[in-house]
Chain A
Amino acid sequence: MDTIDELLSRHQFFKGLKPEYLALIAGCARNVHFETGAYLAREGEASDRFFAIRGGTVAVETHIPSRSPVTLQTLNEGDILGWSWLFPPYVWQFDARAQSDIRATVFDGACLRTKCDADPVLGYDLMKRLARQVSSRLEATRHQLLDVYGPGPTG
């Protein structure tokens, strides 16, 4: 049975993070499972944690009255879910639903923030990784917005 830091060392998001840092943040983490259909996060709920997805597909969604829930993005093995834990008031902005059975490692936000405050080098490394994630998601979202497959300017 792999330890958490061993599992994390193989996770795309944490690639190259020094083993002693992996061990440090593993202290804020535990492994979790979700069955298909379960929610990892609900809009409006307290979000003081984030997930490193190790297996399965998570749908990030929002619901609109009179329409079926809109999936904005899907996340898979190697992705992370959640950065609302970084900024108060630590509230999820969207729903995250297990589209299949999920294996993940969940981190307690307060614990992580404490460790980053105590060791700014760790903090800076984690922030860089998160910033890259957020920026690539933003690019992807902008491309999605173009609605390039749509009917065109008259549609």
Chain B
Amino acid sequence: MAQVPPDSATLLPRPFRVARVRRELGDVRTLALEAFDGRGPMVFRPGQFTMVYVFGIGEVPLSISGDPAKPDVLVHTVRAVGAVTRAVCAAKKDDVLGVRGPYGEGWPVEAASGRDVVIMAGGLGLAPLRPLVRMILARRGAFGRVVVLVGARRPSSVLFSRDLAQWRARFDLDVRATVDAGDSTWNGDVGVITTLVPRVTFDPGKTTAFICGPEVMMRFAASDLVDQGVPPELIFLSLERNMKCAVGVCGRCQFGPAFVCKDGPVFSYARIAGSLRIREI
């Protein structure tokens, strides 16, 4: 369980300036933020998130999607689905957003040390996984085979295609992408992400997996990896729930006994498989 800082229930956001905005997809933006309150950059671990505040409008949990080795620039990727996220996506260079965090248990990279790594990203799930990939590539020798599987709805919704192209160009990384429905622009695989698993090489008994995407996708992907022989306690999922405080006091993010904000958002499949099957838990 992540230690929440004392007195964190006052929920004070720090001002960050928007340094860069990149349009990833029609409704998805990546924002690069810089601290300017003199308290230094926000150092984070892959898989952690922040609460981002738009002055007077509201706050929303956002995954950190940047490089943990370069915390001077705090990067978030966000899809416009509501009032606050639309406002975040509309932010321009030099606008000021409030940020508090980082929160949550990140991806346990040390659990993959010396082992093969399988990363499965569905849709926007690639955002909290990108920092993990960056960290693994920075210490590539510490891991066995590294496989990155990406699933998207259709060719136009594949996220971070530039990063994917760079990763595909390496010889020490196996990167595959598939879409649920193809079109004439796509010559790649079509099918759900689990169809990629039998096509890549890894030693299941010596693998640690990290999965992020829509919850139903994570359920099936994790179940599939367990079928292949990956130990369930070494398959990690990142959950999402309604959050207001992110420090375990508002009660909204509870998932069975766990607070997704401070006990998660990353959980081992062994720990949550039972709860995932309970409807409306």
Direct contact of A and B (CB under 8 A): yes
Q: Which residues of A6-37 are within 8 A (CB) of B?
A: none
Q: Report the Cα distance A69→B280, complex, angstroms.
A: 10
B162 an interface residue at 8 Å Cβ cutoff?
Answer: no
Closest Cβ of chain B: how far from A8's Cβ, in Å? 31
- A42-B277, A63-B279 known; A91 vs B215 contact (CB < 8 Å): no
Closest Cβ of chain B: how far from A40's Cβ, in Å? 15
Residues of chain A lying within 8 A (CB to CB) of residue B220: 93
B9 an interface residue at 8 Å Cβ cutoff?
Answer: no
Q: Which residues of A57-101 are within 8 A (CB) of B?
A: 62-65, 69, 89, 91, 93
Residues of chain B lying within 8 A (CB to CB) of residue A69: 279
Count contacts between A and B, CB distance < 8 Å.
28
- A44-B223, A93-B223 known; A145 vs B181 contact (CB < 8 Å): yes
Q: Report the Cα distance A64→B220, complex, angstroms.
A: 12
B214 an interface residue at 8 Å Cβ cutoff?
Answer: yes
Residues of chain A lying within 8 A (CB to CB) of residue B183: 153
- A43-B277, A89-B227, A93-B223 known; A64 vs B181 contact (CB < 8 Å): no
Q: Which residue of A lies closest to B277 (CB)?
A: A44
Q: Report the Cα distance A89→B280, complex, angstroms.
A: 26
Q: Report the Cα distance A155→B226, complex, angstroms.
A: 35
Q: Report the Cα distance A44→B220, complex, angstroms.
A: 10
Q: Report whether A64 and B277 are in contact in the complex, using a CB–CB cutoff of 8 Å.
A: no
Q: Report the Cα distance A65→B227, complex, angstroms.
A: 24
- A42-B277, A43-B277, A44-B277 known; A91 vs B216 contact (CB < 8 Å): no
Q: Which residue of A lies closest to B241 (CB)?
A: A65
Interface majority SS (helix, strand, loop, mixed), chain B: helix
The interface size of chain B toward A, counting residues with CB under 8 Å, comes to 17
Interface majority SS (helix, strand, loop, mixed), chain A: loop
Q: Report the Cα distance A89→B223, complex, angstroms.
A: 10
Q: Report whether A91 and B277 are in contact in the complex, using a CB–CB cutoff of 8 Å.
A: no
B273 an interface residue at 8 Å Cβ cutoff?
Answer: yes
Q: Report whether A64 and B215 are in contact in the complex, using a CB–CB cutoff of 8 Å.
A: yes
Closest Cβ of chain B: how far from A137's Cβ, in Å? 15
- A69-B279, A91-B227, A93-B223 known; A44 vs B273 contact (CB < 8 Å): yes
Closest Cβ of chain B: how far from A44's Cβ, in Å? 5
Closest Cβ of chain B: how far from A109's Cβ, in Å? 16
Residues of chain A lying within 8 A (CB to CB) of residue B227: 89, 91
Q: Which residue of A lies closest to B274 (CB)?
A: A44
Produce 1/0 per residue, B211-249, CB < 8 A to A: 000111001100100110000000000000000000000
Instruction: With A44-B223, A153-B183 given, name 5 new contacts (CB 8 A).
Output: A42-B277, A44-B274, A44-B277, A64-B216, A93-B220
Q: Top 8 nearest A-B pairs by Cβ distance?
A: A63-B279, A44-B277, A64-B216, A65-B215, A43-B277, A89-B227, A62-B216, A44-B273
